[in-house]
Amino acid sequence: MSAADAARWAAVRMFGEVEDPPVLLQGGCIHDVFRVRTGSGSAVMKVAAIDARAVLEGEMAGLDAIAATGTVRVPRLLGLEEGERHVVFGMEWLEPGAHASADWVRFGEQLASMHAAGGHSRYGFENDNHIGLTDQRNDWSDDWVEFTATCRLSPQLAMARDSGHMGAAEVDRIERLIHRLDRFIPRDPEVSLLHGDLWSGNAMALEDGTVAVLDPACSYGDAWCDLAMMRMFGGFPPACESAWRAQRSETDTSARLAVYQLYHQLNHLNLFGSGYLGGVLETAAGLE
């Protein structure tokens, strides 16, 4: 069964009928993503190999957690179907709109509301999940510095070392930085639900002018983690960040943001190779 056949099969199980063949959508760099038309409207079917079920389950748990805050818009979950070779995650189709026409100020305010919604008293998440295709540990912790070291930076550094993307001297340099994390980030920031992978490609402008988020890698942590990612890989309109910052009291956060960006830079090094090493070392240099 092809990915398209799996998408159609799952849609039939969810809706009972499919009007047209599934249409492959652009942008599915990890999974195959299809639009399927049914008698009750359109749906999105995300298709993965059977051994990637945990990736989709983590995404579903994140979308569910964000939806529960009643703040930032996410697609409604339709279910998960598993066949012999594929697992398919169905979700609501959201009609895309023009980036320039979206209310990015409102999105910044909604994101601030999500971060202020609470929901947990500790750092971590109900389950481990994935950042891209990389395993992401979410062990519960009362210490944000310890969590960032043991569940974020150290696992990424170990992968970079074991894969040969970083040499011994470079690994030692990052390890020394990890041992001094309490100089850069607080031990007990306010606990916020994080999207976790909030680059511009995971924020979708919709036809009605609102913005929805996709593909989360959720955990509970420091809200500034999301802003750190928002500044990478294309960024967001300045008015969006300004609206978000208007709800925050912290001001001098440059080192804090750099630590959180280092996590994503290490992940990209592990996912895509040595082209990202320069960014890792440049960020580390700024913290020395």
pLDDT confidence band for 29 (50 / 70 / 90) = low
Q: Which CATH number fits domain 3-92: 3.30.200.20, 3.40.50.1980, 3.40.50.880, 2.40.160.60?
A: 3.30.200.20
pLDDT confidence band for 10 (50 / 70 / 90) = confident
According to the model, what pLDDT value does residue 251 have?
73
Q: What is the pLDDT of residues 217-251, one digit of tens each?
A: 999 999 999 999 999 988 899 999 999 999 988 77
How far apart are the C-alpha atoms of 22 and 33, rounded to whole Å? 9
Q: What percent of the chain has pLDDT over 70?
A: 99
Q: List the structure tokens of 2.
A: 């092809």
Non-local CB neighbours of 147 within 8 Å, separated by 6+ positions: 123, 124, 139, 141, 221
Which has the closest alpha carbon to 126: 111, 113, 136, 114? 136
Tell me the domain boundaries of the chain. 3-92, 99-286
Q: What is the pLDDT of residues 164-220, one digit of tens each?
A: 999 999 999 999 999 999 999 999 999 999 999 999 999 999 999 999 999 999 999
Q: What is the pLDDT of residues 144-158, one digit of tens each?
A: 999 999 999 999 999
Q: Domain 99-286: what homologous superfamily?
A: Aminoglycoside phosphotransferase (APH), C-terminal lobe (3.90.1200.10)
- Is residue 27's pLDDT more than 70? no
According to the model, what pLDDT value does residue 36 have?
93
- Is residue 131's pLDDT more than 90? yes
- Is residue 97's pLDDT more than 60? yes
Q: Give the predicted TM-score (pTM) of the model.
A: 0.93
pLDDT confidence band for 28 (50 / 70 / 90) = low
Q: What does residue 184 show for φ and ψ, rounded to 5 degrees?
A: -115, -30
Active site residues per annotation: 197
